[in-house]
Structure 1
Amino acid sequence: MGRVRKIPQRMCVGCREKKDKRELIRVVRTPEGSVVVDPTGKRSGRGAYICPQVECLLKAVKNRGLERGLETKIEDTVIEELKEVVGGLHEGKR
């Protein structure tokens, strides 16, 4: 009988629900201080996770959950990039 692998869980900074790490989008504050979307989930730096839904992104921006999670100010360009990523995921699933 094979070993059962543990699936890592992370909390969305928007809806505050725990989900499988692979279901979420990782946003990283790099050691240089820039904030970027991390599609691989392996970049070094402080990370925060968000559901691939526009509603969660808007909640995370409104309640400043993303800023608290990354411990830095989030620029509007990063928010726009996240909206494009989330929008692209929704269009790809339909």
Structure 2
Amino acid sequence: MKPRKIPMRKDIVTGEMFPKKELVRVVRDKEGHVNLDPTSKANGRGAYIGLNRDIAAEAKKQRIFDKAFDVKIPDEFYDELIAYIDHQQARRELFGDK
């Protein structure tokens, strides 16, 4: 049987390509609201960020998503992003890659 192709996406902060499962999608909808999209199925313009706390901290420092989506994003969103990534990292350490 032929091996399955692993979908790759580019991390918006580092510019590196990662398997899609190792990233989280952030999406801006038509109304201009920016949200986390853990399912990667929400409608709107999306950008990916790696599941690494250092990468998320760098995104907050450089205000990466403000630039990518051309909207002013409050610091609370970046704090929520960092908390989500912390949670996902802890899950991976506890349960392993799934």
TM-score normalised by the chain length of structure 1: 0.84
* Offset, 1:17: 1.0
Range moving further from structure 2, 55-64 or 24-33: 55-64
* Offset, 1:82: 0.4
TM-score normalised by the chain length of structure 2: 0.81
Q: 1:69 maps to what in 2?
A: 68
In structure 2, relative to structure 1, the CA distance for the partners of 1:40 and 1:9 (3 Å cut) is: same
Q: 2:14 maps to what in 1?
A: 15
1:89 match: secondary structure: helix
**Contact preservation (8 Å) 2:57, 2:82:** no
Identity of aligned residues (%): 38
Gaps of 5+ in 2: none
Question: How far apart in 1 are the matches of 2:30 and 2:45?
Answer: 8
Q: 1:80 maps to what in 2?
A: 79
Show structure 1 runs of 4+ deviating over 6 A: none
Q: 1:43 maps to what in 2?
A: 42
Q: Aligned residues, how many?
A: 93
1:55 match: secondary structure: helix
Larger relative contact order (Cα-Cα within 8 Å, sequence gap ≥ 6): 1
Gaps of 5+ in 1: none
